[in-house]
Amino acid sequence: MTSPLTTTDELREALAGDAAPTVLDVRYRLGGPPGRAEFERGHVPGSAYVDLDRDLAAPPGPRGRHPLPPVEVFEAAMRRAGVRGDRPVVVLDDWAGHAAARAWWLLRFHGHPDVRVLDGAWPAWLAAGGPVETGPTTPPAGDFTARPGSMPVVDVDRVLDVGVLVDARAAERYRGETEPIDPVAGHVPGAVNVPTSSNLGPDGRFREADELRAVYAAVGATPDADVAAYCGSGVTAAHDVLAMEVAGVRAALWPGSWSEWVADPSRPVATGQD
């Protein structure tokens, strides 16, 4: 299996080659301002800025805070960013890969065959002495055609039937001790908790495949299991899906996640440690 991650050295080498990848920069902070200003202060040369709220999600509603964007909206955004169907894509952010994982998942879901996330994110690029470009960019238009269905998804009506439902939120949110965003605290009954922080080592890079395999096997998420992941709104859950992909576990994403679940007060809610 080809890793869904790439290193700073691999990216520098690829950018110097004849078939340089398209680089997408998804700077994002939950509840913060858009990341375009940070992008223009410094980015990988030739990269394009992608706005998570505008390009990688539909407006909030009953399907959650970050529903999947309409196919035509996503396709247009990727073409504006220069994405081509025959050219590799590397995605990065300044949020330990959380926003980049959403872009990775959407591109893979819509049929792009070669998408990687920069391991260690923007801080790793800077620490490695990678070249930095400033100012706005206008990449050549891409020709990417979005064909959804290449990655598994799970709908709100089926999550209780999933064999292993992984909650990617911080442990205190999973247990219902705090809920800073959504109106109800707790988790989906039967869900297991693997916070996205479990995917990373002290250096901010993803753990090795065998370590991740052990982390997820401990909650029953193995290659032969029926696995899906959720979080608050379907963004950071993609980080767990990415980590499981590194570990050789194909997991579905529940795009609506907890924000969709609690939109219906009749749905059951669990608290504490299952």
Active site residues: 231
Contacts with 180 (C-beta within 8 Å, 6 or more apart), sequence order? 173
Query: How many CB atoms within 10 Å of residue 97?
Result: 31
How many CA within 13 A on the CB side of residue 185?
12
Q: Give the Cα separation of 54 and 256 in Å (integer).
A: 17
DSSP-derived 3-state class of residue 173: helix
Q: Give the Cα separation of 214 and 210 in Å (integer).
A: 6
Alpha helices, H only, the chain: 8-15, 36-41, 52-55, 71-80, 98-109, 121-127, 171-174, 209-217, 237-246, 257-261
Length of the chain: 274
Residue 235 contacts residue 98 (beta carbons within 8 Å): yes
Query: How many CB atoms within 10 Å of residue 134?
Result: 11
